[in-house]
């Protein structure tokens, strides 16, 4: 018993010493600080000047749709986009640009990615997100093999006003690495 106590104390001693002597803070990604509200800054995979909080969750299982009475698999990956309305105005629509890679087999170099496999698609979403609330929409990218990033291009509000993305600091989100395997 005494040997176990001494071993445990020796194991913890370096960790305690580092915790007491270190006064530094962990580094913060610069992109997370640019023109964002505190809520959007907490979402580590959101970058740019965003008027809303964004989260993109990959859908794990392929969706099945009924076409002419036959079950068919949808033709691309799906991401559930969650919009956190940080303003008092109601959001009624949004336009997003989806970037990703084609579904054909391809080789990528270790440093960087080949531009040949990159794909882009613009999608208009109908939303109904009240001020201060969250809303969701599924984004499906046909003929894509994977989705790498979603850019928020514009937002439409119930009062008729619109927001458009800043070209210098585009609002975007990278999908979570974890996948949803069932619907809520």
CATH number for the domain spanning 31: value is: 2.60.40
Domain hosting 140: range is 27-107+114-178
Residue 4, in any domain of the structure = no
Residue 134, in any domain of the structure = yes
Note the Cα 56 to chain centre separation in Å. Answer: 4
Both tokens of 44, joined, read 């580590």
pLDDT digits (tens, 9 = 90+) for 31-62: 333 344 444 444 447 888 899 999 999 886 55
Both tokens of 80, joined, read 């559930």
Residues in the chain: 184
Residue 136, in any domain of the structure = yes
Residue 19, in any domain of the structure = no
Write down the pLDDT at residue 103. 74
Residue 7, in any domain of the structure = no
Query: What is the SS3 assignment for 32?
Result: helix
Write down the pLDDT at residue 37. 43
Write down the pLDDT at residue 146. 84
Low-confidence residues of the chain: pLDDT under 70: 1-44, 60-66, 72-75, 106-116, 180-184
Write down the pLDDT at residue 68. 81
- Closest by CA to 151, choosing from 129, 114, 121, is 121
Write down the pLDDT at residue 13. 53
Write down the pLDDT at residue 76. 78
Residue 169, in any domain of the structure = yes
Distance between terminal CA atoms of the chain? 49
Residue 56, in any domain of the structure = yes
- Closest by CA to 117, choosing from 156, 147, 151, is 147
* Count of domains for the chain: 1
What pTM was computed for the model? 0.65
- Closest by CA to 128, choosing from 93, 177, 180, is 93
Residue 3, in any domain of the structure = no
Question: What is the widest separation between alpha-carbon atoms in the chain?
Answer: 74
Write down the pLDDT at residue 156. 96
């Amino acid at each position: 018993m005494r040997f176990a106590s001494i071993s445990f104390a020796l194991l913890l001693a370096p960790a305690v010493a580092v915790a007491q002597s270190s006064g530094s803070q962990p580094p913060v990604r610069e992109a997370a600080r640019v023109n964002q509200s505190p809520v959007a800054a907490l979402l580590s995979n959101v970058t740019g000047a965003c008027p809303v909080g964004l989260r993109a969750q990959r859908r794990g299982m392929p969706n099945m749709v009924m076409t002419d009475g036959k079950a068919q698999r949808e033709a691309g990956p799906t991401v559930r986009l969650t919009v956190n309305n940080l303003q008092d105005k109601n959001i009624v629509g949004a336009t997003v640009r989806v970037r990703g890679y084609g579904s054909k087999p391809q080789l990528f170099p270790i440093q960087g990615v080949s531009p040949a496999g990159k794909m882009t698609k613009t999608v208009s979403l109908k939303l109904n997100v009240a001020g201060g609330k969250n809303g969701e929409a599924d984004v499906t990218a046909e003929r894509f093999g994977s989705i790498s990033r979603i850019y928020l291009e514009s937002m439409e509000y119930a009062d008729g006003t619109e927001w458009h993305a800043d070209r210098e600091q585009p609002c975007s989100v990278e999908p979570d690495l974890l996948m949803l395997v069932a619907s809520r």
